[in-house]
A and B are shown apart, each in its own frame.
Chain A
């Protein structure tokens, strides 16, 4: 069993610097820009970066079936047609649709005992993606938004959070909730290139920089001795990040990946999105989310999972291998989560409906004890019989895995709001 007791990959720092140098060095040489220069910043920040933690949030939108993935019930009435296969963890078997992950189970931790009660898409997605039940007067931020805020590096010119989705079903923008909108993710919606990062037509980089320099100096002068002048500082910082993002267009350009890499991830949207996610994590983006839709299998559950699960199995396996190979897995928490699972009962359309009483999620990487299988459901997969865990527990586990105290709180007006709900407990058994 492979164990990760630390989140400080030494081999990573060197690699990252090389990457950034290759990516930005040439561009910086041709631009004469005032202020912070990315190329100059890397050595100074490298100590911090060496300890940088990251998270990848894979969201299986619509509700993936635990029976056809992590918690099969072969031979039972609820089990469905698929067989099970052994995994690298002795005694633990998964659905035959996941052969690649089965072989890598020593890197994964599976929680089979979620009981989250809410089985309506919108409310359940709010619950699972924030770790909090919906409150009318307080909108909680999505987990990725909190992670991005907490894992962000001071002075980074890269985005703190990039959110991609593959299908219409995943089209829920991560809510910043009571946190400032400045923590909004960079959304990749219509294309894999962020919007508004190309030079406007008819303008050279020097001209673009020249007008920004004037804008910044007028703003700073205006802010001197003003009540609320610190707001201008934040305003200028937002503009200061524009240049960094414009120079990161290569980062989002999958054409720069070798054809072999693209083939390994598969030429599916989900595969290409995960390849891009790896590029972003590698470059130092602390938080990336990839949403993959079409899991809501009220009809023909087995046909749709026969298509979806092998794609997921292959892509996640390649991604884990890549992260491991690059020395990034120890510092990158991978989260696989849905809004709920699917019913034990197979309905008359050979589908499975929404089910939140007993279902599964999985983790890998930073802070996770690979090869652990936590919790248990009964023989039919109807009830949790051991290790029941809530949405809050999942959130607390995620925070703890990357070294953030889940009991830390944000002050929202008069109310101290902890990162994870007051009664939430990290699932210690799966933590390294």
Chain B
């Protein structure tokens, strides 16, 4: 029985890997009789998501926002998939491309997902999802980056985090999830269930959950039992073959916890001698049962990625998935999670979500009717950029990093060595180094709230003023060399907001520039241009995803 369960997990992993390697190239050659069943392509998943949302809106009597314009869409996509705004060269090429709209979007998406920046950025995004307050270890982020680059599946990542093997230099960092939590059974139990299963059972530690009927003490201590034999810490994680979790149940009676998953499934255990001989691992059992009862593992990640792109989970908050807190769009999460579990391919899931029409809706709500609640996803709600997104984008806008296309010789070298994207990856890592000192000073995106500390930092900190400053090549320096105030305004808007300027705002900025010039004698054009750049990058259009 036990072996079968373990084998079941492995089976899933391999089917996933093969299917996933193939969905993207769409080659028909793999579709022979012995092959695993095909998984749905992102476009058809996207169409089904839209169909379900439209049905939901209809049932609710909601008319959604209009689609966002092309420039907004491209900025949104780049920020969400690479963590930065597009350069002027990039967005102008996008707007100039005459390919039919849907095809053009598909091509751009594919180019971004296949490019080096997606795994680099998403490695950091997944790090924050998985590690929470323990995020930020470069080795762990690089492990996730390599995993994404190699197309490793979520089930495989889950397995590697919980049971290894952690034998090679590449795989060792995967142990970090357990290492930083191994000495604290409560934290290990709570974090694992929240991150991977979208469930917070910590309230059931002291008593059956007071608000959620689903969660009993047996669930909490059942989950803790998968980890109570885990020993060691950094570099020496291990597992014992005996030891149980006991707890004081209702009425004060001492109980021994069963090895029980959240779904109530109890794992039979061999007696200690037998366990020792067969190297029975409770953590292996957890991985096996979680993969066999796939819905929690898949729903949790789908819900978290949905939040990443829409600012809110289908089930909200994302660690409160239980029967009393259903998805705000009935059936959508359950169905999409089922599709995801066919191969656990994160990239396919990302492609599906951003291919929807819903993802491309406007954040502007100019219909006369009141704005529907955010849980209906009928408009793209503003989201504060994460510190990483904001810092990287500041570097692009101010001209500190240009992500210039690769030169011919370099491109040839990359081609010869089969290492396409190396140059761009190096640019990205360099930008990341420049951005690092800013991260702790910027407000996290989670609660959408802004602190006066960030405002003070951006307003007065000398490093920030220097960053936006006048050194050759920066935006401020280039603007200062432009004679005409109108041209300065247009150029600045293009570089910072990634879109063509509107007539009235050019007017507004031109007047501001003239006013500044008149009021300060002698007029220091460099300084005025620095101040213009400062105002644009601290204004809401830049600070928010929209």
Contact at A227–B452, with CB atoms within 8 Å? no
Distance between Cα atoms of A206 and B462 in the complex (Å): 18
Contact at B540–A223, with CB atoms within 8 Å? yes
B231: interface (CB < 8 Å): no
A415: interface (CB < 8 Å): yes
A226: interface (CB < 8 Å): yes
Q: Which of B190, B450, B454, B535 lies in contact with A214, CB distance below 8 A?
A: B535
Distance between Cα atoms of A241 and B453 in the complex (Å): 10
**B186-222 interface (Cβ within 8 A of A):** 186-187, 189-191, 194, 200, 202-203, 211-212
CB distance from B443 to the nearest CB of A (A): 6
A44: interface (CB < 8 Å): no
Residues of A within 8 A of B363 (CB): 226-228
8 A-B pairs whose Cβ atoms sit less than 8 Å apart in the complex: A136-B186, A210-B519, A215-B535, A219-B540, A223-B540, A231-B450, A232-B382, A239-B538
B44: interface (CB < 8 Å): no
Distance between Cα atoms of A236 and B539 in the complex (Å): 9
Distance between Cα atoms of A197 and B212 in the complex (Å): 47
Residues of A within 8 A of B450 (CB): 182, 231, 234-235, 237-238
Contact at B381–A227, with CB atoms within 8 Å? yes
Q: Whose C-beta in chain A lies nearest to the C-beta of B190?
A: A136
Contact at B539–A137, with CB atoms within 8 Å? no
Q: How large is the interface on A (under 10, 10 to 19, 20 to 34, 35 or more residues)?
A: 35 or more
Distance between Cα atoms of A208 and B460 in the complex (Å): 9
B491: interface (CB < 8 Å): no
CB distance from B306 to the nearest CB of A (A): 16
- Binary B-proximity of A406-422 (CB < 8 A = 1, otherwise 0): 00000001110000000
Distance between Cα atoms of A210 and B518 in the complex (Å): 13
- Binary B-proximity of A164-204 (CB < 8 A = 1, otherwise 0): 00000000000000001110101000000011111111111
Q: Which of B319, B381, B384, B534 lies in contact with A211, CB distance below 8 A?
A: B534
Given contact pairs A137-B319, A208-B459, a sample of 19 additional A-B residue pairs in the complex whose CB atoms are under 8 Å apart = A136-B186, A136-B189, A136-B190, A196-B460, A202-B527, A206-B519, A210-B512, A210-B515, A210-B519, A211-B535, A214-B535, A215-B534, A218-B536, A223-B540, A227-B379, A232-B540, A235-B540, A242-B460, A245-B452
CB distance from B441 to the nearest CB of A (A): 9
Contact at A238–B203, with CB atoms within 8 Å? no
Residues of A within 8 A of B374 (CB): 227-228
B449: interface (CB < 8 Å): yes
B461: interface (CB < 8 Å): yes
- Binary A-proximity of B524-546 (CB < 8 A = 1, otherwise 0): 00010001101110111101101
Contact at A186–B365, with CB atoms within 8 Å? no
**B380-423 interface (Cβ within 8 A of A):** 380-384
CB distance from A412 to the nearest CB of B (A): 9
Residues of B within 8 A of A210 (CB): 512, 515-516, 519, 531
CB distance from A373 to the nearest CB of B (A): 34
Contact at B202–A137, with CB atoms within 8 Å? yes
B364: interface (CB < 8 Å): yes
Residues of A within 8 A of B451 (CB): 181-182, 184, 238
Q: Whose C-beta in chain A lies nearest to the C-beta of B543?
A: A235
Q: Whose C-beta in chain B lies nearest to the C-beta of A228?
A: B382
Q: Whose C-beta in chain B lies nearest to the C-beta of A217?
A: B508
Q: Which of B65, B184, B453, B455 lies in contact with A184, CB distance below 8 A?
A: B453
B448: interface (CB < 8 Å): yes
CB distance from A171 to the nearest CB of B (A): 16
**A233-270 interface (Cβ within 8 A of B):** 234-239, 241-242, 245-246
Contact at A227–B380, with CB atoms within 8 Å? yes
Q: Whose C-beta in chain A lies nearest to the C-beta of B361?
A: A227
In the complex, the 10 A-B pairs of residues with the closest C-beta atoms, listed nearest first: A228-B382, A136-B190, A219-B540, A180-B449, A227-B379, A218-B539, A228-B381, A137-B202, A196-B456, A238-B450
Distance between Cα atoms of A217 and B366 in the complex (Å): 20
Residues of A within 8 A of B531 (CB): 203, 207, 210-211, 214
A144: interface (CB < 8 Å): no
Q: Which of A197, A219, A226, A229 lies in contact with B456, CB distance below 8 A?
A: A197
Contact at B203–A415, with CB atoms within 8 Å? yes
Distance between Cα atoms of A227 and B444 in the complex (Å): 20
Residues of A within 8 A of B546 (CB): 226
A349: interface (CB < 8 Å): no
Residues of B within 8 A of A234 (CB): 448-450
Residues of B within 8 A of A223 (CB): 382, 540
Contact at A181–B443, with CB atoms within 8 Å? yes
Residues of B within 8 A of A135 (CB): 202
Q: Which of A181, A202, A236 lies in contact with B449, CB distance below 8 A?
A: A181
Contact at A222–B541, with CB atoms within 8 Å? yes
A212: interface (CB < 8 Å): yes
Contact at B453–A228, with CB atoms within 8 Å? no
Residues of B within 8 A of A202 (CB): 527
B325: interface (CB < 8 Å): yes
**B355-385 interface (Cβ within 8 A of A):** 363-366, 371, 374, 379-384
Contact at A207–B541, with CB atoms within 8 Å? no
Q: Whose C-beta in chain A lies nearest to the C-beta of B362?
A: A227
Distance between Cα atoms of A186 and B508 in the complex (Å): 35
Residues of B within 8 A of A31 (CB): none
CB distance from B334 to the nearest CB of A (A): 20
Residues of A within 8 A of B515 (CB): 210
Residues of B within 8 A of A206 (CB): 519-520
Q: Whose C-beta in chain A lies nearest to the C-beta of B512?
A: A214
Q: Which of A138, A204, A215 lies in contact with B538, CB distance below 8 A?
A: A215
B465: interface (CB < 8 Å): yes
User: Given that A207-B527, A415-B211 are contacting pairs, would A225 and B535 also be in contact in the complex, using a CB cutoff of 8 Å?
Assistant: no
| Most chain A CB neighbours (cut-off 10 Å) among B202, B459, B512, B544 | B459
A341: interface (CB < 8 Å): no
Contact at B456–A245, with CB atoms within 8 Å? yes
Distance between Cα atoms of A175 and B194 in the complex (Å): 22
- Binary A-proximity of B426-466 (CB < 8 A = 1, otherwise 0): 00000000000000000110011111111111011110010
Contact at A201–B452, with CB atoms within 8 Å? no
B136: interface (CB < 8 Å): no
CB distance from B266 to the nearest CB of A (A): 24
Distance between Cα atoms of A181 and B447 in the complex (Å): 8
Q: Whose C-beta in chain A lies nearest to the C-beta of B524?
A: A202
A392: interface (CB < 8 Å): no
User: Given that A182-B450, A206-B519 are contacting pairs, would A196 and B365 also be in contact in the complex, using a CB cutoff of 8 Å?
Assistant: no
Q: Whose C-beta in chain A lies nearest to the C-beta of B443?
A: A181
| Most chain A CB neighbours (cut-off 10 Å) among B371, B516, B531 | B531
Q: Which of A195, A198, A208, A226 lies in contact with B365, CB distance below 8 A?
A: A226
